[in-house]
A and B are shown apart, each in its own frame.
Chain A
Amino acid sequence: MFSILNNSELVKKFKKSDLIIKGGLFLLFFLILVAIFAPILAPYDPNSTSLLARLRPPLGFEKFKVGFLLGTDELGRDMLSRLIYGLRFTLFIALVGSLISMTIGTLIGVISGYVGGIIDNIFMMLVDIQIAFPGTLMALLLISVFGSSITILIFVVGISGWENYARVVRGQVIQIKNEPYVSAAQVAGAKPRRIILLHMLPNIASPIIVLYTFGISNIILLESSLSFLGLGIQPPTATLGSMTGLGRDFLSSYPHICVLPAIVILLIALVFLLLGDWLRDSLDVRLQRK
């Protein structure tokens, strides 16, 4: 399944791709590194307050205070440190959440496509229900019922979007079910699990990877909008969405508190979108548009 990731074809295509893609992928790489090494890179503890250095603007503005490169918020917390930790948090939730929806969706899609019949009907019914149940509403409902904690948030964003994987994977499995190599494996006496894992999944990995990339972008936006509405992780934990949401109160006089995290959300969602677009074109995947 991972042969696709160190595919030399992909490297070649990357070298030929235009500047926006190259820049986007480097930015993505950079942001991921920043998120991983957050404890080393952040100059301060993201939650330590300093009443003497409240509401300082970033470098280049009046009243800038040395040491706080991107300024401080209303409690004197260092914006740069909070952004770095917020990024780490958002990325973590997005990667894990996407992984959950990919696993659920792929599993259901494979079973549905491979077994067919009544099981297929039931699963497709579930997909229909999920489509009728917009992610944001479902997230609001579940958070309202279970309260907001990191686990709940990951779970909530994780089960939104599985229906995309299920639909695409089911279609692919049905398509390749009658290919000679699958029949050959069946004739040779391979068990369904072996056929699915070794013969089918590697052949349908490209659309799954593309969906995963788009899924990350969607989950970043879902998580940050929930946090923005005050329904995500509760303060003082820094997440990009809640920083934007709480910073809104200071928009008129101290816009950097709100605008900086908004820009980071924008960038990170954008680079995953770019990556997804590029992967889709390079791996030559055709996906049904929603």
Chain B
Amino acid sequence: MAWLDMLVTASFWVAVLRIGTPLIFGTLGELICERAGVLNLGIEGIMVAGAFSGWLAVYLGAPLGAGILVAMAVGAALGLLHGILTVPLGLSQHVAGIGITLLATSLSYYFYRMVFPTVTEPPRIQPFQPLDLPGLFAQTPMTYLAFLLVALTAYVLYRTPLGLAVRMVGENPAAVEAQGIDVTRLRIGAVMVGSSLMALGGAFLTLSAFNAFYFNMINGRGWICIALVVFASWRPGKALLGAVLFAAFDAFQLRLQQLIGGAVPYQIFLMAPYVLSILALIVMSRRAGVPRALMIPYRKGER
């Protein structure tokens, strides 16, 4: 069977990891925010801003590594804004997050038009090249970085005092306060770190997967990451699994489109990974994993 053969080809798995990389970054970032008790719906816009700012820095002559740092800094700044709105001010995390998404997306497009008022074809840069490590599929350094970050996040969350404090502040901020740790600083810090990872996910698209910045290039990836965090029951390892699984659905439908051709409307194939993710969510997610204090603002001294 042709479609089964496809699953064992190296090129298929190369595509899976490439498609999965921005999802891994984004899901890890969202996971860190939510573990600290803050839902970050700004993810979609932060990914756009990361994609744009990283790419712009490289276009203006910065090295690729510096582009990554610029994207992360922009992500952290947007995270700081979201953190200030939701933690000390205690605003609705949904509303603040959607506001951040609209703001970051619009600002990115605005600055794009400011810098390139006349171009019709997006300007190109020289992106990261694949590194052919033996035994691994040829991927760009950012994909390897994504895998490294999964391990690092898991280590920090479960093996260090900082990770314990982050998990605890998402479960019961009063407990953190009672042990002499500042809830506000901890939560804002976690949101900033998480948001910089989201921006990294966006930057992967412009600095690694493609070589230019397009409108609508994030195309809902941020929202997928939010679902993947639930799928993963807020655990980094399962987040990696979920991102790769979704990417596999996506790569599979792309090839299936080519294989079957025009007999079936192509929108059906586009839809398939989302339908499968919803099914997977229903089967896999267990509410037990949800941080108890997620979306509940903490006010000092209030019970």
Partners in one complex: no
Q: Could you tell me which A residues sit within 8 Å of B by CB distance?
A: none
